[in-house]
């Protein structure tokens, strides 16, 4: 799974045009979000194949700025404090979380500055050996 960062003009229809281009290319969005900052919208969307998504976006004139691997983390939604716990473990390992959102399968999606260290924390969390 890859997080793709892209920029759209802040105008009615920009997101619709982007969605139509992805649909026409047979690319499904697995999660993400888009946020307006000034005159542009910055998107972070999750794709099963980021290279294919980038090609479809660029062919439609969308300004793609990054494609990065993500960590997918399942939290126990019935236990308050899960987000704080897993993100504290990341911080204690020196991992900076640069982007966070949820996917369509209710998993936490993390884009981090140190993928190897973040992967170790994520694996320990999933195994129940890291303060879960």
The pLDDT tens digits for 69-116 are 999 999 888 889 999 999 999 999 999 999 999 999 999 999 999 999
Angle at 70 between CA 26 and CA 65, to 5 degrees: 65
Would you state the pLDDT for residue 131?
56
Contact indicator for 15, 56 with CB cutoff of 8 Å: no
Give the closest residue to 57 by CA, choosing from 112, 12, 2. 2
Would you state the pLDDT for residue 46?
97
d(CA 80, CA 93) in angstroms, rounded, equals: 22
pLDDT of 127 > 90? The answer is no
Would you state the pLDDT for residue 75?
87
Domain range summary for the chain, segments of one domain joined by +: 2-68, 71-127
3-state secondary structure of 68: strand
Q: Is domain 2-68 given the CATH code 3.30.2130.10 in the classification?
A: yes
Residue range 2-8: average pLDDT?
A: 97
Give the closest residue to 72 by CA, choosing from 98, 107, 33, 45. 107
Residue range 20-26: average pLDDT?
A: 96
Q: Considering the chain, what is the average pLDDT of its residues?
A: 94
Would you state the pLDDT for residue 117?
97
Buried b (16+ CB within 10 A) or exposed e, 10-44: eeeebeeebeebbeeeebebbbbeeeeeeebbbbb
Assign domain 71-127 one CATH number from 3.30.930.10, 3.30.565.40, 3.40.50.450, 3.30.70.260.
Answer: 3.30.70.260
pLDDT of 59 > 80? The answer is yes
What is the helix (H) or strand (E) element at residue 45, kind and residue range?
strand 40-47
pLDDT of 130 > 80? The answer is no
């Amino acid at each position: 799974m890859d997080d793709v960062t892209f920029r759209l003009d802040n105008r009615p229809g920009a997101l619709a045009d982007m969605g139509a281009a992805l649909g026409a290319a047979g690319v499904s969005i697995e999660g993400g979000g888009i946020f307006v900052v000034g005159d542009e919208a910055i998107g972070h969307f999750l794709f099963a194949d980021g290279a294919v998504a980038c090609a479809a976006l660029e062919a439609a004139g969308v300004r793609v700025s990054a494609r990065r691997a993500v960590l997918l983390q399942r939290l126990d939604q019935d236990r308050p404090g899960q987000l704080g716990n897993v993100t504290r473990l990341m911080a204690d390992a020196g991992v900076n979380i640069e982007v966070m959102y949820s996917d369509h399968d209710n998993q936490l999606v993390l884009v981090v500055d140190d993928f190897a260290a973040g992967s170790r924390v994520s694996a320990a969390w999933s195994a129940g050996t890291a303060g879960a």
